[in-house]
Structure 1
Amino acid sequence: MSKRFDFSNLILWLGLLFLYIPMLILIIYSFNESRLVTVWGGFSTKWYFELLKDEQMLSAIWMSLRIAFMSATMAVVLGTLAAFVMVRFGRFRGHTLFGGMLTAPLVMPEVITGLSLLLLFVSMGQMIGWPAERGMTTVWIAHTTFCTAYVAIVVNARLREMDLSIEEAAMDLGATPVKVFFQIMVPIIAPALLSGWLLAFTLSLDDLVIASFVAGPGSTTLPMVVFSSVRLGVSPKINALATLIILSVSFFVFLAWWFSRRAEKKALREMREMME
Protein backbone atom coordinates (compact mmCIF):
# COMPACT_ATOMS: atom_id res chain seq x y z
CA MET A 1 0.00 0.00 0.00
CA SER A 2 2.87 2.35 0.89
CA LYS A 3 4.59 1.76 -2.45
CA ARG A 4 1.39 2.46 -4.35
CA PHE A 5 0.83 5.64 -2.33
CA ASP A 6 4.39 6.86 -2.94
CA PHE A 7 4.16 6.09 -6.65
CA SER A 8 0.87 7.95 -7.03
CA ASN A 9 2.36 10.94 -5.20
CA LEU A 10 5.37 10.84 -7.50
CA ILE A 11 3.17 10.85 -10.61
CA LEU A 12 1.08 13.67 -9.15
CA TRP A 13 4.10 15.87 -8.45
CA LEU A 14 5.64 15.13 -11.84
CA GLY A 15 2.39 16.15 -13.50
CA LEU A 16 2.17 19.36 -11.47
CA LEU A 17 5.79 20.24 -12.22
CA PHE A 18 5.24 19.58 -15.93
CA LEU A 19 2.27 21.94 -15.91
CA TYR A 20 3.56 24.76 -13.72
CA ILE A 21 7.33 24.97 -14.27
CA PRO A 22 6.87 26.57 -17.74
CA MET A 23 4.57 29.17 -16.16
CA LEU A 24 7.13 29.85 -13.43
CA ILE A 25 9.87 30.30 -16.04
CA LEU A 26 7.62 32.66 -17.99
CA ILE A 27 6.97 34.75 -14.87
CA ILE A 28 10.70 34.94 -14.11
CA TYR A 29 11.58 36.03 -17.65
CA SER A 30 8.90 38.71 -17.59
CA PHE A 31 11.30 40.60 -15.28
CA ASN A 32 14.20 40.18 -17.71
CA GLU A 33 16.12 43.32 -18.66
CA SER A 34 17.19 41.92 -22.02
CA ARG A 35 15.04 42.18 -25.12
CA LEU A 36 15.99 38.57 -25.92
CA VAL A 37 13.59 36.36 -23.98
CA THR A 38 16.07 33.48 -23.71
CA VAL A 39 19.01 35.58 -22.44
CA TRP A 40 18.92 36.83 -18.86
CA GLY A 41 20.09 40.44 -18.70
CA GLY A 42 19.22 41.32 -15.13
CA PHE A 43 16.11 42.14 -13.11
CA SER A 44 13.82 44.83 -14.49
CA THR A 45 10.14 45.76 -14.56
CA LYS A 46 10.39 47.92 -17.66
CA TRP A 47 8.41 45.50 -19.86
CA TYR A 48 5.35 45.99 -17.66
CA PHE A 49 5.55 49.73 -18.25
CA GLU A 50 6.13 49.10 -21.95
CA LEU A 51 3.00 46.96 -21.97
CA LEU A 52 0.98 49.81 -20.47
CA LYS A 53 2.23 52.09 -23.27
CA ASP A 54 1.27 49.66 -26.05
CA GLU A 55 -2.06 51.05 -27.28
CA GLN A 56 -2.62 48.18 -29.72
CA MET A 57 -2.23 45.58 -26.97
CA LEU A 58 -4.44 47.48 -24.52
CA SER A 59 -7.10 47.97 -27.19
CA ALA A 60 -7.03 44.25 -27.99
CA ILE A 61 -7.34 43.37 -24.29
CA TRP A 62 -10.38 45.64 -23.87
CA MET A 63 -11.94 44.26 -27.05
CA SER A 64 -11.43 40.64 -25.93
CA LEU A 65 -12.85 41.30 -22.47
CA ARG A 66 -15.98 42.94 -23.88
CA ILE A 67 -16.56 40.16 -26.41
CA ALA A 68 -15.91 37.44 -23.81
CA PHE A 69 -18.31 39.03 -21.31
CA MET A 70 -21.13 39.43 -23.85
CA SER A 71 -20.54 36.00 -25.39
CA ALA A 72 -20.53 34.26 -22.00
CA THR A 73 -23.69 36.06 -20.89
CA MET A 74 -25.61 35.25 -24.07
CA ALA A 75 -24.29 31.68 -24.08
CA VAL A 76 -25.62 31.17 -20.53
CA VAL A 77 -29.07 32.40 -21.58
CA LEU A 78 -29.25 30.27 -24.73
CA GLY A 79 -27.50 27.26 -23.19
CA THR A 80 -29.83 27.25 -20.18
CA LEU A 81 -32.93 27.41 -22.39
CA ALA A 82 -31.58 24.62 -24.60
CA ALA A 83 -30.75 22.42 -21.60
CA PHE A 84 -34.20 23.09 -20.12
CA VAL A 85 -35.84 22.00 -23.37
CA MET A 86 -33.73 18.83 -23.54
CA VAL A 87 -34.43 17.80 -19.93
CA ARG A 88 -37.94 19.03 -19.15
CA PHE A 89 -39.77 18.67 -22.48
CA GLY A 90 -39.27 14.92 -22.72
CA ARG A 91 -38.99 13.03 -26.01
CA PHE A 92 -40.47 15.40 -28.58
CA ARG A 93 -40.22 15.06 -32.36
CA GLY A 94 -36.71 16.06 -33.40
CA HIS A 95 -35.29 15.56 -29.90
CA THR A 96 -32.29 13.57 -31.14
CA LEU A 97 -31.62 15.99 -33.99
CA PHE A 98 -31.83 18.97 -31.65
CA GLY A 99 -29.42 17.34 -29.19
CA GLY A 100 -26.98 16.47 -31.97
CA MET A 101 -27.04 19.99 -33.40
CA LEU A 102 -26.61 21.44 -29.92
CA THR A 103 -23.49 19.40 -29.17
CA ALA A 104 -22.02 19.54 -32.70
CA PRO A 105 -19.72 22.52 -31.91
CA LEU A 106 -18.03 20.40 -29.24
CA VAL A 107 -16.58 18.01 -31.82
CA MET A 108 -16.50 20.28 -34.86
CA PRO A 109 -12.99 21.53 -35.78
CA GLU A 110 -12.72 25.27 -35.18
CA VAL A 111 -11.48 25.79 -38.73
CA ILE A 112 -14.74 24.37 -40.10
CA THR A 113 -16.81 26.43 -37.67
CA GLY A 114 -14.95 29.61 -38.49
CA LEU A 115 -15.15 29.06 -42.24
CA SER A 116 -18.87 28.24 -42.16
CA LEU A 117 -19.62 31.35 -40.09
CA LEU A 118 -17.56 33.47 -42.45
CA LEU A 119 -19.54 32.19 -45.45
CA LEU A 120 -22.77 32.80 -43.52
CA PHE A 121 -21.91 36.41 -42.74
CA VAL A 122 -20.77 37.10 -46.30
CA SER A 123 -23.96 35.58 -47.73
CA MET A 124 -26.15 37.53 -45.31
CA GLY A 125 -24.33 40.74 -46.20
CA GLN A 126 -25.01 40.17 -49.89
CA MET A 127 -28.66 39.13 -49.41
CA ILE A 128 -30.00 41.47 -46.71
CA GLY A 129 -27.16 43.96 -46.31
CA TRP A 130 -26.29 42.88 -42.75
CA PRO A 131 -23.65 42.61 -41.53
CA ALA A 132 -22.20 45.28 -43.79
CA GLU A 133 -18.72 44.37 -42.59
CA ARG A 134 -17.17 41.97 -40.13
CA GLY A 135 -16.33 43.34 -36.73
CA MET A 136 -17.05 43.03 -33.04
CA THR A 137 -20.66 41.95 -33.61
CA THR A 138 -19.72 39.05 -35.87
CA VAL A 139 -17.05 37.87 -33.42
CA TRP A 140 -19.61 38.05 -30.60
CA ILE A 141 -22.14 35.98 -32.58
CA ALA A 142 -19.50 33.42 -33.54
CA HIS A 143 -18.23 33.01 -29.97
CA THR A 144 -21.77 32.73 -28.62
CA THR A 145 -22.45 29.99 -31.15
CA PHE A 146 -19.78 27.59 -29.95
CA CYS A 147 -19.84 28.63 -26.26
CA THR A 148 -23.56 27.84 -26.00
CA ALA A 149 -22.84 24.13 -26.50
CA TYR A 150 -20.49 24.02 -23.50
CA VAL A 151 -22.92 25.87 -21.26
CA ALA A 152 -25.78 23.58 -22.32
CA ILE A 153 -23.80 20.48 -21.37
CA VAL A 154 -22.95 21.85 -17.92
CA VAL A 155 -26.50 23.02 -17.16
CA ASN A 156 -28.00 19.83 -18.63
CA ALA A 157 -26.05 17.70 -16.17
CA ARG A 158 -27.23 19.84 -13.24
CA LEU A 159 -30.88 19.81 -14.33
CA ARG A 160 -30.92 16.02 -14.54
CA GLU A 161 -29.83 15.82 -10.89
CA MET A 162 -32.65 18.08 -9.65
CA ASP A 163 -35.51 16.64 -7.65
CA LEU A 164 -38.74 17.23 -9.58
CA SER A 165 -40.75 17.04 -6.36
CA ILE A 166 -39.51 20.53 -5.41
CA GLU A 167 -40.99 22.05 -8.57
CA GLU A 168 -44.19 20.04 -8.23
CA ALA A 169 -44.61 21.17 -4.62
CA ALA A 170 -44.17 24.81 -5.64
CA MET A 171 -46.77 24.48 -8.39
CA ASP A 172 -49.19 22.77 -5.97
CA LEU A 173 -48.83 25.83 -3.73
CA GLY A 174 -49.89 28.09 -6.58
CA ALA A 175 -46.61 29.18 -8.13
CA THR A 176 -46.62 29.79 -11.88
CA PRO A 177 -44.08 27.98 -14.10
CA VAL A 178 -42.21 31.26 -14.65
CA LYS A 179 -42.03 31.89 -10.90
CA VAL A 180 -40.86 28.32 -10.28
CA PHE A 181 -38.14 28.72 -12.87
CA PHE A 182 -36.72 32.02 -11.60
CA GLN A 183 -37.26 31.61 -7.84
CA ILE A 184 -36.58 27.89 -7.41
CA MET A 185 -34.75 26.41 -10.36
CA VAL A 186 -32.32 29.27 -11.04
CA PRO A 187 -31.01 29.46 -7.42
CA ILE A 188 -30.54 25.69 -7.37
CA ILE A 189 -28.65 25.56 -10.67
CA ALA A 190 -26.76 28.83 -9.96
CA PRO A 191 -23.39 27.02 -9.46
CA ALA A 192 -23.81 25.37 -12.88
CA LEU A 193 -24.72 28.72 -14.44
CA LEU A 194 -21.65 30.34 -12.92
CA SER A 195 -19.44 27.44 -14.03
CA GLY A 196 -20.86 27.63 -17.55
CA TRP A 197 -20.35 31.40 -17.65
CA LEU A 198 -16.73 31.13 -16.54
CA LEU A 199 -16.07 28.33 -19.04
CA ALA A 200 -17.65 30.33 -21.88
CA PHE A 201 -15.74 33.46 -20.84
CA THR A 202 -12.45 31.56 -20.89
CA LEU A 203 -13.16 29.91 -24.24
CA SER A 204 -14.09 33.23 -25.84
CA LEU A 205 -11.09 35.03 -24.38
CA ASP A 206 -8.76 32.28 -25.60
CA ASP A 207 -10.18 31.78 -29.10
CA LEU A 208 -7.93 32.50 -32.06
CA VAL A 209 -9.07 30.39 -35.01
CA ILE A 210 -12.74 31.39 -35.20
CA ALA A 211 -11.98 35.05 -34.44
CA SER A 212 -9.44 35.11 -37.27
CA PHE A 213 -12.18 34.16 -39.74
CA VAL A 214 -14.95 36.49 -38.58
CA ALA A 215 -13.02 39.51 -37.27
CA GLY A 216 -12.56 42.63 -39.33
CA PRO A 217 -10.67 45.94 -39.13
CA GLY A 218 -10.93 47.43 -35.66
CA SER A 219 -11.99 44.18 -34.00
CA THR A 220 -8.64 42.53 -33.37
CA THR A 221 -8.74 40.35 -30.27
CA LEU A 222 -5.91 39.69 -27.83
CA PRO A 223 -5.03 36.16 -29.12
CA MET A 224 -4.77 37.57 -32.65
CA VAL A 225 -2.37 40.32 -31.52
CA VAL A 226 -0.28 37.87 -29.49
CA PHE A 227 -0.11 35.35 -32.34
CA SER A 228 0.91 38.00 -34.88
CA SER A 229 3.59 39.36 -32.57
CA VAL A 230 4.95 35.89 -31.77
CA ARG A 231 5.35 35.15 -35.47
CA LEU A 232 7.77 38.10 -35.66
CA GLY A 233 9.59 37.05 -32.51
CA VAL A 234 8.54 36.73 -28.91
CA SER A 235 8.55 40.10 -27.18
CA PRO A 236 9.16 40.35 -23.42
CA LYS A 237 5.90 42.31 -23.28
CA ILE A 238 4.11 39.05 -24.04
CA ASN A 239 5.74 37.51 -20.97
CA ALA A 240 4.57 40.46 -18.88
CA LEU A 241 1.04 40.14 -20.24
CA ALA A 242 0.97 36.38 -19.62
CA THR A 243 2.23 36.95 -16.06
CA LEU A 244 -0.58 39.42 -15.35
CA ILE A 245 -3.14 36.95 -16.73
CA ILE A 246 -1.74 34.10 -14.60
CA LEU A 247 -1.78 36.26 -11.46
CA SER A 248 -5.34 37.44 -12.18
CA VAL A 249 -6.60 33.89 -12.68
CA SER A 250 -4.78 32.72 -9.53
CA PHE A 251 -6.37 35.55 -7.55
CA PHE A 252 -9.89 34.68 -8.67
CA VAL A 253 -9.28 30.97 -8.04
CA PHE A 254 -8.12 31.83 -4.51
CA LEU A 255 -11.23 33.96 -3.95
CA ALA A 256 -13.47 31.13 -5.17
CA TRP A 257 -11.70 28.67 -2.86
CA TRP A 258 -11.97 31.07 0.09
CA PHE A 259 -15.70 31.69 -0.38
CA SER A 260 -16.44 27.98 -0.89
CA ARG A 261 -14.39 27.13 2.19
CA ARG A 262 -16.23 29.77 4.18
CA ALA A 263 -19.61 28.49 3.01
CA GLU A 264 -18.65 24.92 3.87
CA LYS A 265 -17.58 25.91 7.40
CA LYS A 266 -20.81 27.85 7.86
CA ALA A 267 -22.89 24.86 6.73
CA LEU A 268 -21.02 22.52 9.09
CA ARG A 269 -21.46 24.97 11.96
CA GLU A 270 -25.21 25.25 11.34
CA MET A 271 -25.48 21.46 11.12
CA ARG A 272 -23.73 21.07 14.50
CA GLU A 273 -26.04 23.67 16.05
CA MET A 274 -29.09 21.84 14.71
CA MET A 275 -27.83 18.52 16.08
CA GLU A 276 -27.18 20.07 19.49
Structure 2
Amino acid sequence: MLGTGFFFLYAPIISLIVYSFNESALVTVWTGFSLKWYEALLHDEELLAAAWLSLRIAALTAFASVAIGTWAGFVLARMGRFRGFTLYSAMINAPLVIPEVIQGISLLLLFVELSNFLGWPTERGILTIWAGHVMLGISYVAIIVQSRVRDLNPALEEAALDLGATPIKVFFTVTLPLISQALIAGWLLSFTLSIDDLVLSSFLSGPGSTTLPLVVFSRVRLGLNPEMNALATIFITVVTIGVVIATHMMQVSERKRKMQTL
Protein backbone atom coordinates (compact mmCIF):
# COMPACT_ATOMS: atom_id res chain seq x y z
CA MET A 1 0.00 0.00 0.00
CA LEU A 2 2.86 2.36 0.80
CA GLY A 3 4.49 1.61 -2.54
CA THR A 4 1.21 2.26 -4.33
CA GLY A 5 0.85 5.58 -2.54
CA PHE A 6 4.37 6.68 -3.45
CA PHE A 7 3.83 5.59 -7.07
CA PHE A 8 0.62 7.63 -7.25
CA LEU A 9 2.45 10.69 -5.88
CA TYR A 10 5.73 10.51 -7.82
CA ALA A 11 4.79 8.90 -11.14
CA PRO A 12 3.30 12.17 -12.49
CA ILE A 13 6.42 14.07 -11.42
CA ILE A 14 8.68 11.55 -13.15
CA SER A 15 6.58 11.68 -16.32
CA LEU A 16 6.74 15.49 -16.26
CA ILE A 17 10.54 15.37 -16.07
CA VAL A 18 10.73 12.82 -18.89
CA TYR A 19 8.44 14.79 -21.21
CA SER A 20 10.38 17.98 -20.58
CA PHE A 21 12.99 16.41 -22.90
CA ASN A 22 10.38 15.55 -25.52
CA GLU A 23 10.92 16.91 -29.02
CA SER A 24 7.21 17.14 -29.79
CA ALA A 25 5.09 20.16 -28.87
CA LEU A 26 2.47 17.69 -27.60
CA VAL A 27 3.39 17.05 -24.00
CA THR A 28 1.80 13.58 -23.97
CA VAL A 29 3.28 12.21 -27.23
CA TRP A 30 6.93 11.13 -27.19
CA THR A 31 8.74 11.69 -30.49
CA GLY A 32 12.39 11.85 -29.42
CA PHE A 33 14.90 13.37 -27.05
CA SER A 34 15.49 17.10 -27.33
CA LEU A 35 16.57 20.08 -25.22
CA LYS A 36 14.78 22.64 -27.35
CA TRP A 37 12.15 23.41 -24.71
CA TYR A 38 14.87 24.39 -22.26
CA GLU A 39 16.27 26.68 -24.93
CA ALA A 40 12.78 28.08 -25.58
CA LEU A 41 12.39 28.66 -21.85
CA LEU A 42 15.41 30.97 -21.89
CA HIS A 43 13.53 33.24 -24.30
CA ASP A 44 10.18 33.13 -22.50
CA GLU A 45 10.42 36.44 -20.68
CA GLU A 46 6.96 36.23 -19.10
CA LEU A 47 7.58 32.83 -17.52
CA LEU A 48 11.10 33.72 -16.35
CA ALA A 49 9.97 37.05 -14.88
CA ALA A 50 7.14 35.33 -13.01
CA ALA A 51 9.51 32.64 -11.70
CA TRP A 52 12.04 35.24 -10.51
CA LEU A 53 9.28 37.24 -8.80
CA SER A 54 7.96 34.13 -7.05
CA LEU A 55 11.44 33.18 -5.86
CA ARG A 56 12.05 36.66 -4.41
CA ILE A 57 8.70 36.73 -2.63
CA ALA A 58 9.18 33.18 -1.33
CA ALA A 59 12.65 33.96 0.06
CA LEU A 60 11.46 37.17 1.72
CA THR A 61 8.44 35.35 3.11
CA ALA A 62 10.53 32.52 4.52
CA PHE A 63 12.95 34.83 6.34
CA ALA A 64 10.19 37.06 7.73
CA SER A 65 8.05 34.09 8.78
CA VAL A 66 10.97 32.47 10.62
CA ALA A 67 11.94 35.73 12.34
CA ILE A 68 8.41 36.48 13.58
CA GLY A 69 7.14 32.92 13.93
CA THR A 70 10.09 31.90 16.12
CA TRP A 71 9.22 34.53 18.71
CA ALA A 72 5.52 33.66 18.46
CA GLY A 73 6.19 29.95 18.98
CA PHE A 74 8.59 30.63 21.84
CA VAL A 75 5.94 32.70 23.63
CA LEU A 76 3.37 29.93 23.17
CA ALA A 77 5.75 27.34 24.59
CA ARG A 78 7.40 29.21 27.46
CA MET A 79 5.30 32.15 28.65
CA GLY A 80 2.51 30.08 30.22
CA ARG A 81 -1.14 31.05 30.23
CA PHE A 82 -0.81 34.84 30.54
CA ARG A 83 -3.71 37.27 30.29
CA GLY A 84 -4.92 37.20 26.70
CA PHE A 85 -3.24 33.85 25.98
CA THR A 86 -6.41 32.41 24.42
CA LEU A 87 -6.76 35.37 22.05
CA TYR A 88 -3.04 35.29 21.23
CA SER A 89 -3.13 31.56 20.48
CA ALA A 90 -6.28 31.96 18.38
CA MET A 91 -4.66 34.73 16.32
CA ILE A 92 -1.62 32.52 15.65
CA ASN A 93 -3.71 29.52 14.64
CA ALA A 94 -6.43 31.37 12.71
CA PRO A 95 -4.63 31.39 9.30
CA LEU A 96 -4.34 27.60 9.54
CA VAL A 97 -8.10 27.05 9.62
CA ILE A 98 -9.53 30.05 7.76
CA PRO A 99 -9.92 29.33 4.01
CA GLU A 100 -7.43 31.21 1.86
CA VAL A 101 -10.29 32.72 -0.15
CA ILE A 102 -11.55 34.47 2.98
CA GLN A 103 -8.04 35.61 3.89
CA GLY A 104 -7.48 36.92 0.38
CA ILE A 105 -10.73 38.90 0.34
CA SER A 106 -10.11 40.37 3.80
CA LEU A 107 -6.56 41.43 2.94
CA LEU A 108 -7.70 42.91 -0.36
CA LEU A 109 -10.34 45.00 1.42
CA LEU A 110 -7.76 46.04 4.03
CA PHE A 111 -5.27 47.27 1.43
CA VAL A 112 -7.99 49.06 -0.52
CA GLU A 113 -9.12 50.94 2.60
CA LEU A 114 -5.53 51.75 3.57
CA SER A 115 -4.95 53.12 0.09
CA ASN A 116 -8.07 55.28 0.31
CA PHE A 117 -7.32 56.74 3.75
CA LEU A 118 -3.51 56.77 3.89
CA GLY A 119 -2.49 56.59 0.25
CA TRP A 120 -0.56 53.38 0.96
CA PRO A 121 -0.11 51.02 -0.72
CA THR A 122 -0.34 52.95 -3.96
CA GLU A 123 -0.81 49.70 -5.90
CA ARG A 124 -0.97 45.99 -5.27
CA GLY A 125 2.26 44.20 -6.02
CA ILE A 126 5.18 42.40 -4.44
CA LEU A 127 4.69 44.10 -1.05
CA THR A 128 1.03 43.15 -0.69
CA ILE A 129 1.66 39.58 -1.87
CA TRP A 130 4.56 39.30 0.58
CA ALA A 131 2.40 40.54 3.48
CA GLY A 132 -0.28 37.95 2.74
CA HIS A 133 2.22 35.12 2.48
CA VAL A 134 3.96 36.13 5.71
CA MET A 135 0.62 36.10 7.54
CA LEU A 136 0.19 32.48 6.46
CA GLY A 137 3.80 31.40 7.01
CA ILE A 138 4.05 32.75 10.56
CA SER A 139 1.41 30.31 11.78
CA TYR A 140 3.22 27.26 10.42
CA VAL A 141 6.59 28.36 11.79
CA ALA A 142 5.08 29.15 15.21
CA ILE A 143 3.54 25.68 15.51
CA ILE A 144 6.80 23.97 14.50
CA VAL A 145 8.91 26.07 16.88
CA GLN A 146 6.42 25.66 19.72
CA SER A 147 6.58 21.86 19.54
CA ARG A 148 10.40 21.92 19.38
CA VAL A 149 10.83 24.34 22.29
CA ARG A 150 8.56 22.24 24.51
CA ASP A 151 10.85 19.25 23.94
CA LEU A 152 13.98 21.11 25.02
CA ASN A 153 15.71 20.28 28.27
CA PRO A 154 15.26 23.43 30.40
CA ALA A 155 18.34 22.52 32.45
CA LEU A 156 20.58 23.71 29.59
CA GLU A 157 19.09 27.21 29.61
CA GLU A 158 18.98 27.31 33.41
CA ALA A 159 22.67 26.45 33.54
CA ALA A 160 23.47 29.38 31.24
CA LEU A 161 21.40 31.69 33.44
CA ASP A 162 23.22 30.46 36.55
CA LEU A 163 26.53 31.27 34.86
CA GLY A 164 25.48 34.90 34.43
CA ALA A 165 24.02 35.03 30.93
CA THR A 166 21.06 37.32 30.35
CA PRO A 167 17.77 35.81 29.08
CA ILE A 168 18.31 37.41 25.66
CA LYS A 169 21.83 36.00 25.42
CA VAL A 170 20.58 32.57 26.50
CA PHE A 171 17.97 32.68 23.76
CA PHE A 172 20.46 33.51 21.02
CA THR A 173 23.40 31.38 22.19
CA VAL A 174 21.64 28.34 23.66
CA THR A 175 18.00 28.11 22.58
CA LEU A 176 18.36 29.08 18.92
CA PRO A 177 21.11 26.54 18.14
CA LEU A 178 19.05 23.83 19.84
CA ILE A 179 15.96 24.61 17.74
CA SER A 180 17.88 25.15 14.49
CA GLN A 181 16.25 22.08 12.93
CA ALA A 182 12.81 23.57 13.54
CA LEU A 183 13.96 26.87 12.03
CA ILE A 184 15.21 25.13 8.88
CA ALA A 185 11.99 23.14 8.60
CA GLY A 186 9.91 26.30 9.11
CA TRP A 187 11.94 28.18 6.49
CA LEU A 188 11.51 25.42 3.91
CA LEU A 189 7.79 25.10 4.63
CA SER A 190 7.21 28.86 4.39
CA PHE A 191 9.21 29.04 1.17
CA THR A 192 7.21 26.19 -0.36
CA LEU A 193 3.85 27.62 0.71
CA SER A 194 4.74 31.01 -0.74
CA ILE A 195 6.09 29.87 -4.08
CA ASP A 196 3.14 27.51 -4.52
CA ASP A 197 0.39 29.91 -3.44
CA LEU A 198 -2.28 30.76 -6.01
CA VAL A 199 -5.33 31.96 -4.08
CA LEU A 200 -3.76 34.73 -1.98
CA SER A 201 -1.59 35.86 -4.88
CA SER A 202 -4.59 36.19 -7.18
CA PHE A 203 -6.26 38.62 -4.74
CA LEU A 204 -3.15 40.59 -3.77
CA SER A 205 -1.32 40.88 -7.10
CA GLY A 206 -1.59 43.76 -9.51
CA PRO A 207 -0.32 44.77 -12.96
CA GLY A 208 3.33 43.82 -13.35
CA SER A 209 3.35 41.50 -10.33
CA THR A 210 2.13 38.19 -11.73
CA THR A 211 3.62 35.25 -9.85
CA LEU A 212 4.54 31.91 -11.40
CA PRO A 213 1.43 30.00 -10.20
CA LEU A 214 -0.78 32.67 -11.77
CA VAL A 215 1.05 32.44 -15.11
CA VAL A 216 0.96 28.63 -15.10
CA PHE A 217 -2.73 28.58 -14.19
CA SER A 218 -3.61 31.01 -16.98
CA ARG A 219 -1.62 29.01 -19.55
CA VAL A 220 -2.95 25.61 -18.48
CA ARG A 221 -6.48 26.74 -19.23
CA LEU A 222 -5.40 27.29 -22.84
CA GLY A 223 -3.46 24.03 -23.11
CA LEU A 224 -0.32 22.45 -21.72
CA ASN A 225 2.97 24.10 -22.68
CA PRO A 226 6.22 22.05 -22.88
CA GLU A 227 8.17 25.05 -21.59
CA MET A 228 6.37 24.70 -18.28
CA ASN A 229 7.57 21.10 -18.07
CA ALA A 230 11.13 22.35 -18.49
CA LEU A 231 10.69 25.03 -15.83
CA ALA A 232 9.05 22.53 -13.46
CA THR A 233 11.98 20.14 -13.95
CA ILE A 234 14.45 22.89 -13.03
CA PHE A 235 12.42 23.73 -9.93
CA ILE A 236 12.21 20.08 -8.90
CA THR A 237 15.98 19.70 -9.29
CA VAL A 238 16.74 22.82 -7.26
CA VAL A 239 14.24 21.90 -4.54
CA THR A 240 15.57 18.35 -4.32
CA ILE A 241 19.13 19.63 -3.89
CA GLY A 242 17.94 22.12 -1.26
CA VAL A 243 16.03 19.45 0.68
CA VAL A 244 19.02 17.09 0.61
CA ILE A 245 21.33 19.83 1.92
CA ALA A 246 18.83 20.87 4.61
CA THR A 247 18.30 17.26 5.69
CA HIS A 248 22.06 16.73 5.92
CA MET A 249 22.43 19.88 8.04
CA MET A 250 19.62 18.75 10.33
CA GLN A 251 21.19 15.31 10.75
CA VAL A 252 24.58 16.83 11.56
CA SER A 253 22.96 19.18 14.07
CA GLU A 254 21.07 16.29 15.66
CA ARG A 255 24.24 14.22 16.01
CA LYS A 256 26.04 17.16 17.64
CA ARG A 257 23.16 17.69 20.02
CA LYS A 258 23.14 14.04 21.04
CA MET A 259 26.91 14.08 21.60
CA GLN A 260 26.63 17.16 23.79
CA THR A 261 23.92 15.57 25.94
CA LEU A 262 25.93 12.38 26.54
Q: Which TM-score tier does this pair reach, normalised by the shorter chain?
A: over 0.9
- Separation of aligned partners in 2, 1:176 and 1:146: 32
- Separation of aligned partners in 2, 1:194 and 1:12: 27
- Separation of aligned partners in 1, 2:229 and 2:166: 54
Task: Verify the 8 A CA contact 2:100 2:199 in the aligned structure 1.
Answer: yes
Gaps of 5+ in 2: none
Q: Which of 122, 142, 154 in structure 2 is aligned with 1:152? A: 142
Q: What is the number of equivalent residue pairs in this alignment?
A: 261
Query: Equivalent residue for 1:19?
Result: 9
- Name whichever of 184-193 and 80-89 sits farther off: 80-89
Task: Verify the 8 A CA contact 2:77 2:147 in the aligned structure 1.
Answer: no
> What SS class does the counterpart of residue 63 from structure 2 fall into?
helix
- Determine whether 1:218 maps to 2:208: yes
Aligned partner letter, 1:14: T
Q: Deviations over 1:158-179 (max 9, x none)?
A: 1111122222221121111111
Q: What does 1:252-271 correspond to in 2, within 5 Å?
A: 252-259=242-249
Q: Deviations over 1:191-213 (max 9, x none)?
A: 11111011001100100110000
- Name whichever of 164-173 and 228-237 sits farther off: 164-173
When residues 201 and 90 of structure 1 are mapped into structure 2, their CA distance, relative to the original with a 3 A threshold, is same
- Separation of aligned partners in 1, 2:46 and 2:90: 40
- Determine whether 1:249 maps to 2:245: no
When residues 257 and 161 of structure 1 are mapped into structure 2, their CA distance, relative to the original with a 3 A threshold, is closer
Aligned partner letter, 1:217: P
- Determine whether 1:40 maps to 2:1: no
TM-score, with length taken from structure 2: 0.94
Greater Rg by CA: 1
Query: Equivalent residue for 1:239?
Result: 229
Q: Which of 164, 174, 184 in structure 2 is aligned with 1:184? A: 174
Q: What does 1:98-247 correspond to in 2, within 5 Å?
A: 98-247=88-237
Aligned partner letter, 2:186: G
- Separation of aligned partners in 1, 2:247 and 2:141: 22
- Separation of aligned partners in 1, 2:249 and 2:93: 32
> What SS class does the counterpart of residue 211 from structure 1 fall into?
helix
Superposition deviation, residue 262 in structure 1 = 6.2
Aligned partner letter, 2:208: G
Superposition deviation, residue 219 in structure 1 = 1.1
When residues 257 and 165 of structure 1 are mapped into structure 2, their CA distance, relative to the original with a 3 A threshold, is closer
Superposition deviation, residue 69 in structure 1 = 0.7
Q: Deviations over 1:65-115 (max 9, x none)?
A: 110111111111111111122122211111011101111111111111111
Identity %: 56
Query: Equivalent residue for 1:5?
Result: none
- Separation of aligned partners in 2, 1:265 and 1:84: 23
Q: Deviations over 1:246-269 (max 9, x none)?
A: 22222223334455566778899x
Query: Equivalent residue for 1:53?
Result: 43
Aligned partner letter, 1:16: F
Gaps of 5+ in 1: 1-10
* Alignment RMSD: 2.0
- Separation of aligned partners in 2, 1:133 and 1:105: 24
Superposition deviation, residue 218 in structure 1 = 1.4
When residues 261 and 136 of structure 1 are mapped into structure 2, their CA distance, relative to the original with a 3 A threshold, is closer
TM-score, with length taken from structure 1: 0.89
